[in-house]
Amino acid sequence: MTWNIRPNRPEDAMQLADIYLSVRRKTFTWVDPGKFHREDFAAHTNGEVVSVCEAPNGKIAGFISIWAADDFIHMLYILPELQGRGAGTALLQSLPGWPQHTYRLKCLVNNRHAKAFYLAHGFQVTGRGASTEGDYEELSLAPASAE
């Protein structure tokens, strides 16, 4: 499938908030779902660069948000029914300098599918920590070597 990656627009806000809320509730089963709210999306992406992934029919499949100053991937969320079809890969590949640039992220240890996804895309575990949603691993992209 061919994905269209574009900047976030104001009219995307509610749909992205719905994706963020529904995917978190479905994925983070170890966290009380009452702790997740639609308003979290605006608060958690404040000051970040958000890119949207659209299917050829215009349906929003998901998004990525980065804290550009630190090359930190804060969020990458894809609708469950569209996972495994390349949307997440397209979002990663849309990042400036990918894959020569070093990006980092935190991935909850219990989120095994996400960790497998990132490891398959060249990320390596470079640290560990704890958050209110559980233990996490810091993952860093090892830049592809020029051969």
Determine if the peptide bond prior to 99 is cis (ω within 30°). yes
Per-residue confidence (pLDDT) for residue 145, from 0 to 100: 53
Helix (H) or strand (E) holding 73: strand 72-78
Per-residue confidence (pLDDT) for residue 33, from 0 to 100: 86
pTM: 0.91
- Both tokens of 99, joined, read 């894959």
Counting runs of H as helices and runs of E as strands, what totals does the chain give?
4, 7
84 CA to centre of own chain:
14
Place of tokens 């691993």: 137
Q: Do 79 and 86 form a contact (C-beta atoms < 8 A)?
A: no
Q: What is the pLDDT along the chain (147 residues), one digit of tens a residue?
A: 799 999 999 999 999 999 999 999 998 989 888 899 999 999 999 999 999 999 999 999 999 999 999 999 999 999 999 999 999 999 999 999 998 889 999 999 999 999 999 999 999 999 999 998 889 999 999 765 544
Residues whose CB is less than 8 angstroms from the CB of residue 17 and which lie 6 or more positions away in sequence, other chains included: 38, 39, 40, 41, 42
Q: What's the DSSP call for residue 31?
A: S
Residue 47's identity, in one-letter code, is G
135, β-bridge pairs: 130
